[in-house]
Amino acid sequence: MAQREYILDSSNHSLELCTRLLQEDRLVAVPTETVYGLAGNALSEKAVRQIFKVKGRPLIDPLITHFKSADAAFACVHPSAAAEALAAAFWPGPLTLILPKKAVIPDIVTAGLSSAAIRVPRQPLMRDLLQRLEFPLAAPSANPFGYVSPTRPEHVAHTLGDKIAAILDGGPCAHGIESTILDLRNPLNPGILRPGPICADAIEAILHREVNQPENSQRTGAQLAPGQLTKHYSPKTLIEIAAHGQLHFSRPEDEAVIANNKPTVPTGDHVYWLSECGDLDEVARNFFDLLQKLDRMHYSKLIIEAAPDTGIGAAFNDRLRRAAAR
Ligand code: TXA
Ligand code: MG
């Protein structure tokens, strides 16, 4: 278990300490607007190797590299006009672009692929940290491989706390769900590999062309991004999915029932909701946090209501399906 002093506040002193640790090839858990990341110097093979080890992640599963600016990011890849338009529209923010890489990004970061995943995060503390560094940060979500992603510093402390140098506390994550990943290797044929806070409609409005959606591959269980396994984000407790609006509250007391919104009828202590009024942004934001909490409460099963498949609801349903897969 991590000790309190490893959780660092937003002071200048904390940021200086994080900067020094990262310069020494140590790992720091960092806040982003999506989920917490397990960060190390992306240009240091030693630091990146350590990320895979601490997370228990296979070396075939590439990492996202985080930059302070679009200019810094595009210096490390071969951007297209489409990439530049999307960066202007959504960076800093929760969009990751897959583009042909340059040699400056070490092969270990991209698992030997000729493409790299890049993003410019929006979270203010993370931006401040990136500005202080002379290198970008490779960072997967700061959870053990396959487990629920962390949206609060405590989640990182519970699962990886004793394996990392520090956790930079940026409070709860604004989106609570990982970035949208867009494959832009061929700008004429863009495709979403992982749905997220930036939805397909918003991307299509910038590109003026249709974007391939991951639904078909999801149905067949095909792997999308190399690390997008069908079973992912999994708590220890079993999950059963209820269709939206089809949740029944009368379940045994040892089963937790999780609704999108607060029930209008009186229910028992084993009934939870992700948003008072069913706001989809709030449903997504609170999902991983509630999963982490319920997973420590010894329920025999979690019955979770799916969201409408619109906007960020699609990303929530994607994570829910993977969390439920066994
Ligand atoms: O919101 C996020 O994206 C968070 C925060 C920390 O930035 N990061 C995150 O990283 O979710 P991770 O490692 O948990 O998920 C990254 C996904 C993996 O599924 C990986 O396979 C995919 O991105 N990926 C990375 N590089 C890729 C590439 N060159 N081509 C295809 N997929 C790639
Ligand atoms: Mg992850």
Could you tell me the residue ranges of all domains in the chain? Answer: 4-207, 238-324
| Per-chain mean pLDDT for the chain | 94
What is the end-to-end Cα distance of the chain in Å, rounded? Answer: 28
- Residue 127's nearest CA partner among 90, 86, 161, 170 is 170
Nearest CA to ligand 1 atom 22: 225
- Over 80: is that where the pLDDT of 117 sits? yes
Of residues 222 and 268, the one with the higher pLDDT is: 268
Q: What was the pLDDT predicted at 326?
A: 84
| 269/255 Cα distance (integer angstroms) | 10
Pocket test for ligand 1, best of 55, 64, 101 (most atoms within 8 A of CB): 64
Of residues 326 and 247, more confidence is placed in 247
Cα–Cα distances in Å, from 147 out to 159, 189, 231, 265? 9, 32, 10, 33
CATH level 3 topology of 4-207 = DHBP synthase (3.90.870)
Question: Which ligand 1 atom is at minimum distance from the Cα of 34?
Answer: 1
Q: Which residue, 42, 40, 58, is CA-closest to 165?
A: 40
User: Does the CB atom of residue 151 touch ligand 1 within 6 A?
Assistant: no
pLDDT of res. 228: 66
CB neighbourhood size of 250 (10 A): 8
Q: For 50-94, write each residue's pLDDT tens digit.
A: 999 999 999 999 999 999 999 999 999 999 999 999 999 999 999
Strands 64-66, 115-119: pairing is parallel
- Which DSSP state fits 319? H
Distance, in Å, from the CA atom of 224 to the CA atom of 232, rounded to the nearest integer, reads 13
Q: At 222, is the pLDDT very low, low, confident or very high (cuts 50, 70, 90)?
A: very low
- Please state the rounded mean pLDDT for residues 224-247: 84
Question: Measured between alpha carbons, how far is residue 117 from residues 20, 92, 164, 316 in Å?
Answer: 25, 15, 23, 21
Give residue 234's pLDDT.
Answer: 87
Residue 118 Cβ contacting ligand 1 at under 6 Å: no
Closest listed residue to residue 216, CA positions, set 247, 192, 235: 192
- Joined together, the tokens standing for residue 101 give 């890489």
Pairing state between β 7-8 and 166-168: parallel
Residue type, 200: A
pLDDT of 4 over the 60 cut: no
Q: What does the pLDDT look like over 161-177, one tens digit per residue? A: 899 999 999 999 999 99
Query: Of the ligands numbered here, which is closest to the C-alpha atom of 100?
Result: 1
Work out the pLDDT band at 215, boundaries 50, 70, 90.
Answer: low
CA distance 193 to 281: 20
Report pLDDT for 51. Answer: 98
Query: So what's the pLDDT on residue 10?
Result: 96
What are the distances in angstroms from CA 78 to CA 24, 27, 70, 105?
A: 29, 28, 12, 12
Fold type of domain 238-324:
Rossmann fold (3.40.50)
Q: Across residues 25-29, what is the average pLDDT? A: 98
pLDDT of residue 118: 98
Q: Quick one: which atom of ligand 1 is closest to the CA of 225?
A: 32
> How do residues 164-211 score in pLDDT, each as one tens digit?
999 999 999 999 999 999 999 999 999 999 999 999 999 999 999 999
pLDDT of residue 214: 78
